[in-house]
Amino acid sequence: MGKKKAKDDKSELVVKNKDAFIRMNFLYQAATMLAGPDKTEEHKLSMFYAANMKRIGKRLVLRISPAVKRTICKYCSSPLIPAVSARVRLSASHDRRLVVTCKYCNRLKRLKLKPEKEAAQEAAVVAAPEKDKDSSAAAADSAAVSG
Ligand SMILES: [Zn+2]
């Protein structure tokens, strides 16, 4: 009996702070939905939601996914949606960076881009997830040669 119960416990995935993650997910979705090009009351509400999401993460020491973190302004908590609430440009210098400018506080976020070869390898893995590693590596090599 005891052994069986232990097995059942292992099969169930326990997520710590599940309620907080659910709340943060809701706040992020609400914030991105309400974000607009002008500083209206709706946009201020979206900034409040995003700030609230960041606050929950900080308080419970939860790691926000980098993909999510990149879409929120570090300074004013405005959701950064390209062409709506943010301006996205490639840097002119040789160091390959994506420059995202927040339309509300005019602060910059510089994101380092991956080297071309690394990005091509990742794209090949995403394009063919079922195939084994040898064939995806060969596809990445051919992509790197052609590109
Ligand atoms: Zn901002």
Tell me 110's DSSP state. Answer: E
From ligand 1's centre to the CA of 1, what distance in Å? 57
C-alpha to C-alpha distance for 35 and 80, rounded to whole angstroms: 8
Question: Cα separation of 124 and 144, whole Å?
Answer: 10
Q: Is the dihedral of CA 117, 122, 125, 127 positive or negative?
A: negative
Query: Rounded mean pLDDT of the chain?
Result: 82
pLDDT at site 136 = 46
> Measured in angstroms, how far is the CA atom of residue 62 from the centroid of ligand 1?
22
Nearest to 45 by CA among 58, 55, 53, 35: 35
Q: How far is the CA of 80 from the centre of ligand 1 (A)?
A: 8
Helix residue spans in 15-79 (DSSP H) = 18-34, 41-59, 66-69
Separation of alpha carbons 90 and 122, rounded Å: 20
Ligand 1 centroid from CA 75, angstroms: 5
| pLDDT reported for residue 10 | 56
5: pLDDT strictly greater than 70: no
Q: Which of the residue ranges 18-32, 82-96, 115-129 has the most confident prediction, judged by mean pLDDT?
A: 18-32
**What tens digit of pLDDT does each residue of 85-99 get?**
999 999 888 788 999
pLDDT at 8: 54
C-alpha 93 to ligand 1 mean position (Å): 24
125 pLDDT higher than 70:
yes
Report whether pLDDT(100) > 90.
yes
User: 133-146 vs 116-127: helix axis angle to the nearest 10?
Assistant: 140
**pLDDT at residue 24, rounded to an integer:** 96
Tens digit of each residue's pLDDT (9 = 90 or more) over 31-64: 999 998 888 899 999 999 999 999 999 999 999 9
Contacts of 115 (CB under 8 A, 6+ apart): 96
CA of 35 to the centre of ligand 1 (A): 12
